[in-house]
Amino acid sequence: GAVVSQHPSRVICKSGTSVKIECRSLDFQATTMFWYRQFPKQSLMLMATSNEGSKATYEQGVEKDKFLINHASLTLSTLTVTSAHPEDSSFYICSASWGVGNTIYFGEGSWLTVV
Amino acid sequence: QKEVEQNSGPLSVPEGAIASLNCTYSDRGSQSFFWYRQYSGKSPELIMSIYSNGDKEDGRFTAQLNKASQYVSLLIRDSQPSDSATYLCAVKLGTGNAGKSTFGDGTTLTVKP
């Protein structure tokens, strides 16, 4: 079946630095990928839609200059959290749609801790 | 009104019972409906998808869709402690949003041994 893989699963970075999270579709080509953020015990929040070969579409309230998204190929999208701060610490999850009904499949998620 | 609403939890059922999870949506143009399970600290995993009115069964899980009432539900028969998780309802809105789905806030289910 469809598989979406994320890396790294956990990352700790210092405040003020940048960190990159990768999302790969392993069994299929994904022209569109999605990035979510989830704080503990809260619901999924869609951050942006990543479009292969074009600019990402950000949801209202999400800073596009802080959360840089690059979708350079049909199997890879990256999210870079720039100038990270402790309040950016969260669970970041990517997903891609595939198949009948454009079912969304999620990556394993990446825990980001900013210290 | 939220686009996708789920019954507020938490929901607690004894082991072996039927757990019923409900979801309503606001856009009548919605065409695809999904249920995901999310364990604490993990990403969501797909349980079932449903596209047509009626019931769809997969093992202990049954999804029910009623487009006229804009309602989709998930029944878990013979609930097990391992079913304890947060269940997310997702709806694909309209026809133009390539793959974009809207998620409910989730219902947390606890199955007590």
What tens-digit pLDDT sequence spans chain B (113 residues)? 778 999 878 999 999 999 999 999 998 888 889 999 999 999 999 999 999 999 999 999 999 999 999 999 999 999 999 999 999 999 987 544 466 788 999 999 999 99
Minimal CA–CA distance to A30: which of A80, A71, A79?
Answer: A71
Shortest Cα distance, chain B CAs vs residue A46, angstroms: 9
Write the CB contacts of A15 (distance below 8 Å, at least 6 apart in sequence).
A84, A85, A86, A114, A115
More confident residue, A6 or A32: A6
Is residue A40 reached through a cis peptide bond, with omega within 30 degrees of 0 on the bond before it?
no
Q: What angle do CA A107, A112, B2 make, to 5 degrees?
A: 65
**B106/A104 Cβ within 8 A:** no
Specify whether the CB–CB gap between A79 and A94 falls below 8 A.
yes
**B92/A44 Cβ within 8 A:** no
Shortest Cα distance, chain A CAs vs residue B40, angstroms: 8
Coil/strand/helix, residue A80: strand
Write the CB contacts of A86 (distance below 8 Å, at least 6 apart in sequence).
A15, A114, A115
Where do we find the tokens 């199997």?
A: A75
Backbone angles phi, psi at B82, to 5 degrees: -70, -10
Which of B31, B46, B104 has the CB atom closest to A105's CB atom?
B46
- How much is the pLDDT for A103? 81
Comparing A23-37, A58-72, B92-106, the range with the smallest average pLDDT is: B92-106
Paired with B78 in beta bridges are none
Q: Cα(B46)–Cα(A104) distance, rounded to whole angstroms? A: 8
**A32/B98 Cβ within 8 A:** yes
Token pair listed for B64: 């029910």
Q: Which residue type does A107 have? A: G
- A109 touching chain B per CB within 8 A: yes
- A113 touching chain B per CB within 8 A: no
Task: Specify the DSSP class assigned to residue A85.
Answer: -
Percent of chain A topping pLDDT 70? 97
Shortest Cα distance, chain A CAs vs residue B45, angstroms: 7
**A44/B99 Cβ within 8 A:** no
Chain A residues with CB under 8 Å of B43 CB are 91, 93, 106-109
Size of interface A-B (CB pairs under 8 A): 59
